[in-house]
């Protein structure tokens, strides 16, 4: 059975921890991303992640994502949130929906630091599809084609990594084009 510890060990074994990442991070949302800043410290500067930052604040997850980690965050863009049914974002940001919002956001977070090459290695080791358990008790199915990593959420929806390997002091961000949703209850 795959565990978060296995995920972290595989990333470490492949020498892909934050200290070995590329010297220069990709720009995200028109902003520089700094490897010596936390996930939240960088995300607040991205013009493409204003909804995500608002959601993280509303869910009370700022302290978690500013902590030591390590975390891998699949960060949906504002456009990804815009793909949800009209009124969904506003409803999720309502304080009464905090538990639901928290669960959805935790489905975007893995308790390990996994750069794209580590993820591809685990996919290869598992014959082309790798289960990725999240902190929100969702299990994503990771695949790749060429340099493109794709995730399938528990609703069978495909989420594409559009910017990979944004190194953070407490993990890594992979920008994604859709919001990851848990299974229907």
Q: Is 183 contained in some domain?
A: no
Q: Is 42 contained in some domain?
A: yes
> Residue 121: pLDDT above 70?
yes
Percentage of the residues of the chain whose pLDDT score is greater than 70:
87
Note the pLDDT of residue 23: 52
Res. 93 pLDDT band, cuts 50 70 90 = very high
Q: Is 10 contained in some domain?
A: yes
Chain center to CA of 88: 20
CATH number at residue 23: 2.30.180.10
Q: Is 92 contained in some domain?
A: yes
DSSP category for residue 37: S
Q: Is 185 contained in some domain?
A: no
Domain enclosing residue 70, as ranges:
4-176
Q: Which residues of 24-63 are buried (b: 16+ CB within 10 A; e: fewer)?
A: ebeebbeeebebebbbbbbbbbbebbebbbebbebbebbe
Domain count, the chain: 1
Q: Is 181 contained in some domain?
A: no
Q: Do the Cβ atoms of 182 and 104 come closer than 8 Å? A: yes
- Mean pLDDT of the chain, nearest integer: 88
pLDDT in tens, 3-47: 444 444 444 444 444 334 345 888 898 888 989 999 999 999 999
pTM for the model stands at: 0.85
């Amino acid at each position: 059975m795959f565990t978060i510890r296995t995920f972290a060990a595989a990333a470490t074994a492949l020498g892909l921890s934050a200290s070995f990442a590329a010297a220069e991070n990709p720009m995200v949302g028109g902003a520089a991303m700094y490897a010596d800043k936390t996930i939240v410290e960088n995300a607040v500067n991205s013009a493409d992640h204003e909804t995500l930052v608002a959601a993280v604040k509303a869910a009370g997850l700022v302290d978690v994502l500013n902590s030591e980690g390590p975390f891998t965050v699949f960060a949906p863009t504002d456009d990804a949130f815009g793909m949800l049914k009209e009124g969904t974002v506003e409803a999720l940001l309502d304080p009464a929906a905090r538990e639901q919002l928290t669960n959805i956001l935790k489905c975007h977070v893995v308790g390990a630091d996994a750069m794209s090459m580590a993820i591809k290695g685990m996919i290869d080791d598992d014959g082309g599809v790798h289960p990725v358990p999240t902190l929100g008790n969702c299990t994503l199915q990771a695949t790749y084609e060429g340099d493109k990593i794709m995730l399938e959420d528990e609703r069978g929806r495909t989420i594409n990594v559009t910017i990979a390997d944004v190194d953070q002091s407490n993990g890594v961000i992979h920008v994604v084009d859709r919001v990851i949703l848990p299974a229907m209850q």
